[in-house]
A = this chain, B = another copy of it.
């Protein structure tokens, strides 16, 4: 049984990688830059995205995909507070997005007009890291209440994410969150990680992140 599980998982991941590569090629032809956003439940993905999109939307045409096991409040919030098109993906219980699910969702947009696509993945620090969604870059969020030790416990998520955003920094002192220790732990997992320290509510550090993303999108053209 164990061997069969491993084999099936390898097949699934291989098939997923092929589909992800195809999707990436299609988006490249359309000059669309695609960012996969991952984090634990409640790390502040939607709140950060709203702030970020409001800083980017005058320069780029943006689309957002909101993946949840259930509920649709996030997609509504995004559109309500930014004006950009946002669609809800329900995963039917699944703990992650595959490239196929992402591709199906992207077909809901008029992609000819898009510059930048965000996917807000399922709140989960484990499984989404295993599946290539077809994105150009992975951006992961770690909130201060979760603790600075998380890169040690959830290695793959930090390894596959080029952008690591520390969120809710205004609460660091309440949770004995050690920022320098956290940065060290992140760089242990990915020495090339680009780390941003933010508070979406207090609008701290989000400009720096927005500027970094602007460069990525412009260099994609």
A residues within 8 Å of B by Cβ? 1, 4-5, 8, 11-12, 15, 40-42, 68-71, 73, 93, 95, 122-127, 143, 145-147, 149-150, 152-156, 168, 171, 174
Count of identical protomers in the assembly: 2
Decide if A42 touches B145 in the complex (CB within 8 Å): yes
Contacts of A150 in B (CB 8 A): 41-42
Decide if A8 touches B5 in the complex (CB within 8 Å): yes
A46 to chain B, nearest CB (A): 10
- Bound complex: CA A185 to CA B146 (Å): 22
- Bound complex: CA A155 to CA B68 (Å): 11
Nearest chain B residue, comparing its CB with the CB of A95: B126
Decide if B127 touches A126 in the complex (CB within 8 Å): yes
Contacts of A126 in B (CB 8 A): 69, 95, 122, 124, 127
- Bound complex: CA A146 to CA B124 (Å): 12
Q: Known A15-B1, A123-B125, A125-B41; judge A149-B8 contact (CB<8 A).
A: no
